[in-house]
């Protein structure tokens, strides 16, 4: 496994004895350095160059004098890779990236006292397993969402209620089912097995021992027969559902909204088993060359207006309580269940799988993320 052989300086024990490199948080805010290098999900950092009315960067730049250089990453894995280069200051990391960044020493703890907007963040998002270690926060929560099940209402009848719709080997929609193209999707299978195969005793879809993992992989290999294509960018997903190349599969709320807006007969549900999901956190690089601008950015992006802007443009639930009052669509927070903690109870946020099982088991080793990655290759064949 990948036990912590790091030795030396360490602050606190990580999952299963992993140690977190000791990195100091920024003590006090200084003057901005003039620029900040950002890694983000598409749509998180808009400066009006895409659409004049969508801009929460220009104002920030004017106000702080920090020029924003944004690099868009397609997947969590890319984000980790980019942050490892040390060329970036802040990142909008999802839960399956954040721990890797923390334990890799790529990001520093965050001094939340320096973020005036931190106090308005939903408590349900603070100090979670994916954004803190031993109560030390490593970032500012940005927003969250669930990986839903979308289907075309004209072809998929009766309407599905369970993930079984995408795993049924006898599915009438064989060849038109889609799934998210990332190793983390193994968790979706695990979640399904957790509910349908209690004998496997899965407690957390991100903590899978050999047998559990094998069962999930087998299920996905079987599912591969049904898959038309895997998706990772949402234009592709929208277009596939509109054209009918895909009729059933995972989605994000925003994709569903777009597809509907384009007039395609689709619907998305949170299946009975619950779902995986994401909760993103802005984190600051341990090697940040522009730490002050990075803090200014983090504070800005979770401010009610900017946070509302992102949440609406991207299509997710905002992290700041006050954002719900700032959205152009008054129903935005309702649509995305922003204040519905019960809804998010059913959501297993993306978390990086580790060798030391994060569900607390000590007697077995779990499959770590590199195993998940290699398994994903095998699943796709």
Site for other proteins in 77-106 (CB under 8 A): 77-78, 80-81, 84-88, 100, 103-105
Could you give the C-alpha distances from 113 to 94, 101, 143, 298, in angstroms and in order? Answer: 22, 22, 20, 12
Q: Which of residues 313-352 bind other proteins (CB under 8 A)?
A: 352
Tell me the window of 107-115, 119-127, 226-234, 340-348 that interacts with other proteins (CB under 8 A).
Answer: 226-234
Q: Distance between CA 138 and CA 97 in Å, rounded?
A: 12
Q: Which is nearer to other proteins, 93 or 354 (CB)?
A: 354
Give which of 97, 67, 63, 62 is closest to 79, Cα–Cα.
Answer: 97
Q: Distance between CA 267 and CA 197 in Å, rounded?
A: 27
Tell me the window of 76-84, 133-141, 142-150, 333-341 that interacts with other proteins (CB under 8 A).
Answer: 76-84
For the window 180-219, what string marks contact with other proteins as x by the rule CB under 8 A? Answer: --xx------------------------------------
Among 12, 13, 17, 48, binds other proteins (CB under 8 A): 48
DSSP-assigned letters across all residues of 66-97? -EEEEEEESSHHHHHHHHHTT--SEEEE-HHH
Residue in the block written with tokens 């890797």:
100
Q: Distance between CA 317 and CA 108 in Å, rounded?
A: 25
377 is an interface residue for other proteins by CB under 8 A? yes
Tell me the window of 160-168, 196-204, 343-351, 372-380 that interacts with other proteins (CB under 8 A).
Answer: 372-380
For the window 147-186, what string marks contact with other proteins as x by the rule CB under 8 A? Answer: -----------------------------------xx---
Tell me the window of 64-72, 137-145, 269-277, 330-338 that interacts with other proteins (CB under 8 A).
Answer: 64-72
Q: Which is nearer to other proteins, 103 or 122 (CB)?
A: 103
Q: Is residue 351 within 8 Å of residue 358, measured between CB atoms? A: yes
37 is an interface residue for other proteins by CB under 8 A? yes
Among 111, 162, 224, 346, binds other proteins (CB under 8 A): 224
The two structure tokens encoding residue 151? 């289907």
371 is an interface residue for other proteins by CB under 8 A? yes
The two structure tokens encoding residue 337? 């269940």
Could you give the C-alpha distances from 157 to 78, 109, 144, 153, 186, in angstroms and in order? Answer: 37, 49, 30, 7, 26
Q: Is residue 32 within 8 Å of residue 57, measured between CB atoms? A: no
Q: Which of residues 257-276 bind other proteins (CB under 8 A)?
A: 258, 261-262
Residue 370 backbone phi and psi in degrees, to 5: -65, -35
Q: Which is nearer to other proteins, 28 or 243 (CB)?
A: 243
Q: Which is nearer to other proteins, 278 or 376 (CB)?
A: 376
Among 157, 161, 201, 378, binds other proteins (CB under 8 A): 378
């Amino acid at each position: 496994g990948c036990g912590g052989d790091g030795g030396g300086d360490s602050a606190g024990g990580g999952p299963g004895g992993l140690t977190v490199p000791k990195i100091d948080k920024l003590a006090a805010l200084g003057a901005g350095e003039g620029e900040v290098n950002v890694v983000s999900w598409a749509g998180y950092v808009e400066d009006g160059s895409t659409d004049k009315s969508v801009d929460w960067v220009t104002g920030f730049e004017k106000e702080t004098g920090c020029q924003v250089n944004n690099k868009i990453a397609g997947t969590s894995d890319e984000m980790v890779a980019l942050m490892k280069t040390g060329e970036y200051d802040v990142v909008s990391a999802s839960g399956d990236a954040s721990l890797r960044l923390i334990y890799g020493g790529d990001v520093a703890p965050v001094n939340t006292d320096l973020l005036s907007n931190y106090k308005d963040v939903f408590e349900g998002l603070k100090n979670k397993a994916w954004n803190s270690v031993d109560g030390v926060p490593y970032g500012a929560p940005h927003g969250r969402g669930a990986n839903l099940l979308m289907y075309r209402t004209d072809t998929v009848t009766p309407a599905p209620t369970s993930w079984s719709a995408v795993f049924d080997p006898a599915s009438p929609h064989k060849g038109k089912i889609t799934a998210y193209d990332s190793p983390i999707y193994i968790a979706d299978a695990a979640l399904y097995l957790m509910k349908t195969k209690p004998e496997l005793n899965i407690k957390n879809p991100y903590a899978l021992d050999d047998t559990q993992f094998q069962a999930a992989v087998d299920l996905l290999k079987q599912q591969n027969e049904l898959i038309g294509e895997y998706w990772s960018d949402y234009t592709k997903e929208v277009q596939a559902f509109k054209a009918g190349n895909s009729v059933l599969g995972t989605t994000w709320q925003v994709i569903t909204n777009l597809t509907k807006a384009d007039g395609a007969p689709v619907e998305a549900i949170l299946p009975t088993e619950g779902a995986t999901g994401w909760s993103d956190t802005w984190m600051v690089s341990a090697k940040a060359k522009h730490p002050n601008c990075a803090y200014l950015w983090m504070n800005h992006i979770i401010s009610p207006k900017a946070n509302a802007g992102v949440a609406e443009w991207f299509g997710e639930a905002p992290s700041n309580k006050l954002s719900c009052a700032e959205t152009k669509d008054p129903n935005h927070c309702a649509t995305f269940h922003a204040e519905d903690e019960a809804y998010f109870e059913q959501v297993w946020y993306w978390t990086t799988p580790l060798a030391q099982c994060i569900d607390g088991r000590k007697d077995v080793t779990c499959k770590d993320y590199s195993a998940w990655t290699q398994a994903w290759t095998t699943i796709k064949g």
